[in-house]
Amino acid sequence: MSDATEGKTPETEVVPASATELNIVSVREGAFGVHGTGDTSGYGTVRRPVVMPGASRPPFGGWFDDVAAGISQGEGLSDAIEKTVVDRGEITFFIRREKILVVATHLRNDPKLRFEFFSGVSGVHYPDDKGRELHAVYHLLSMTHNRRIRLEVTCAEEDPHIPSVVSIYPTADWHERETWDMFGIQFDGHPALTRILMPDDWPGHPQRKDYPLGGINVEFKGGFNSAPDQRRSYN
């Protein structure tokens, strides 16, 4: 190995750790979630669990262990990581939401970590994951060390609050607005948490699993399009 590459492990050489368990977050029934007479596919009795990888056991392999140790050794961060998941050659750290600001600051500033590039944050909705229905997923890149990680923070639908990281990564501004718009996660401390895709007076958050897929009146400039079930039938 040359001096230029010594000490750096490409992501493709990281060996994933084995998960201790699988996490079933939901069970889907029928085709496309349709129930009753609306399911004409013949697959009404099909049941399929939605399975997510569970927590992985250390050592995680390669530089994954260095990053995990670097987070835990930060001041006040010994209990910041709820669990670590290694799957498909990628690592995800589940961070307690009250620690996300301290973790993000540490990841950005620590010379051994230096995750200086914030790629974005997006939302996920798991209606059956009780008390953890809403997930915010952050993607970070260390250009210094050529490493990518994912952070994940959960909150309940009844308490959809997560601290904003805009003060640490200014590029999170529009990403947090979109996640609020689509999923309803409220990023506390955001300078202007307003809708970015939907009109300001739009009801609900369209990418939640419980958002209706049809039967919604749609307004647009110069006209009005009624819901499909309210239109004239030509049958």
pLDDT in tens, 101-139: 999 999 999 999 999 999 999 999 999 889 999 999 999
Q: How far apart are CA 118 and CA 77, in angstroms?
A: 20
* Helix, strand or coil, per DSSP, at residue 136: strand
- pLDDT higher for 22 or 54? 54
Please, are residues 151 and 105 in contact by the beta-carbon 8 Å criterion?
no
Please, are residues 102 and 74 in contact by the beta-carbon 8 Å criterion?
yes
For tokens 């049809």, the residue is 214
- pLDDT higher for 28 or 223? 28
Instruction: List pLDDT tens digits, range 2-41.
Output: 444 444 444 444 444 444 567 787 777 766 555 555 556 6
For tokens 């009753």, the residue is 36
Give pLDDT, residue 23.
Answer: 79
Give pLDDT, residue 12.
Answer: 40
Model pTM greater than 0.85?
no
11-25+51-209 belongs to which homologous superfamily? Answer: NADH:ubiquinone oxidoreductase Nqo5 subunit (3.30.460.80)
